[in-house]
Amino acid sequence: MKLNWSDVTPKRDFLNRRAFIALGAAATIASPAVALTGRASAYSTDEKPNSFEEITNYNNFYEFGMEKTDPAAYASKLTTDPWSIEIGGMVDRPGNYDVADIAPDNALEERIYRLRCVEAWSMVIPWLGVPLSGVLKKIGVQPSAKYVAFETLTRPAEMPGLSSPFMSWPYREGLRLDEAMHPLTLLATGLYDQPMPKQNGAPIRLVVPWKYGFKSIKSIIRITLTDKQPVSTWNVLQASEYGFYANVNPQVDHPRWSQASERRIGAGLFAGRQETQMFNGYGDEVAGLYAGMDLKTYY
């Protein structure tokens, strides 16, 4: 089954969204709203996506502050053009690559994924992006590489949250190479047919839908192929609470709260919580990556 978000969004919302985009284009002649289209994907869920307003106003992006509304309030200052990603380490063709070369508009796929935050809330987001595997294949991964490390930009003048001593910057994340090469793993450059909103990690971020949201690192400037397990910011901050793997797992509770259920953002006051699914519902695709591993030890 191949679905686009327009297929799973009530027609009324869809038309409103189109009208909104058209309005934006008319109102800002200097920088018209760019409408992108991504090819529909068999990996998309048919669950109803959250609204654009929900997805862009309830965020975690600590470089802009700790509150859910801080990214929407402060990320507009971020300069995202020009932007390149330094890809290096154990690769055949290291270098600085433009976002447009990594994820050209005509290569974009739409992936409607569930996002499950470790804080036990969730959303459904219609991303636009390219599989990370294709990018890594073009760069040429050397046989010695076992992991992929990612790093977010640090620019204090534009990111007020960096003055917080609470975290150690830059925000960093990592995947095992087979996780990075999995077809679900996306480098996303947009959502809802538009370039990535800054609060969601413009111009390019990772999306790993079977892991807690903190693995999906935003505004990436560096990707390094390595033979050592990379630093994960949350794991370094509090290893007993946030593991390197961070696979969504309703059977392994966070020390301070249950992971058995989640609150779907926008579901309404009386909707109740829903059960959290193993691997966030992507078990058929990814369980094989962890065959033989004790997921209570490797949380």
By beta carbon distance, the residue nearest ligand MTE is: 213
Gap between the Cα atoms of 103 and 187, Å rounded: 8
CB of 72 to ligand MTE, least distance (A): 9
User: C-beta of 220: minimal distance to ligand MTE in Å?
Assistant: 8
Task: Indicate the Cα dihedral angle 292, 296, 297, 299, nearest 10°.
Answer: 100
Binding site for ligand MTE (CB under 6 A): 59-63, 115, 117, 152, 171, 200, 213-214, 216-219
Q: Shortest Cβ distance from residue 202 to ligand MTE (Å)? A: 10
CB-nearer residue toward ligand MTE: 59 or 280: 59
How far apart are alpha carbons 216 and 163 in whole angstroms?
22
Distance of closest approach, residue 152 Cβ to ligand MTE, in angstroms: 4
Q: Give me the least distance between CB of 146 and ligand MTE, in Å please.
A: 23
For ligand MTE, the closer CB: 108 or 153: 153
Q: Which is nearer to ligand MTE, 117 or 223 (CB)?
A: 117
Least distance from ligand MTE to the Cβ atom of residue 216, Å: 5
Cβ 153 to ligand MTE shortest distance, Å: 8
How far is Cα 101 from Cα 239, in angstroms, rounded to an integer? Answer: 36
277's tokens: 């699914």
- Kindly state the smallest distance separating residue 241's Cβ from ligand MTE, in Å: 12
Q: Which residue, 130 or 220, is less far from ligand MTE as judged by CB? A: 220
DSSP output for 78-114: ---SS-EEEEEESBSS-EEEEHHHHS-GGG-EEEEEE
Q: Which is nearer to ligand MTE, 219 or 280 (CB)?
A: 219
Answer for the pair 222, 151: CB distance below 8 angstroms, yes or no. yes
Q: Which is nearer to ligand MTE, 141 or 188 (CB)?
A: 188
Strands (DSSP E) contained in the chain are 84-89, 95-98, 109-116, 121-131, 147-152, 172-176, 186-191, 194-195, 205-207, 220-226, 261-264, 274-275
Complex with ligand MTE: residue 25 or 267, whichever CB lies closer: 267
At CA 263, angle to CA 125 and CA 52, rounded to 5?
A: 30
Give the DSSP letter of residue 219: S
Q: How far apart are CA 285 and CA 125, in angstroms?
A: 19
Which residue, 63 or 109, has its beta carbon nearer to ligand MTE? 63
The tokens of 113 are what? 């994924």
**From CA 118, how far away is CA 115, in angstroms rounded?**
10
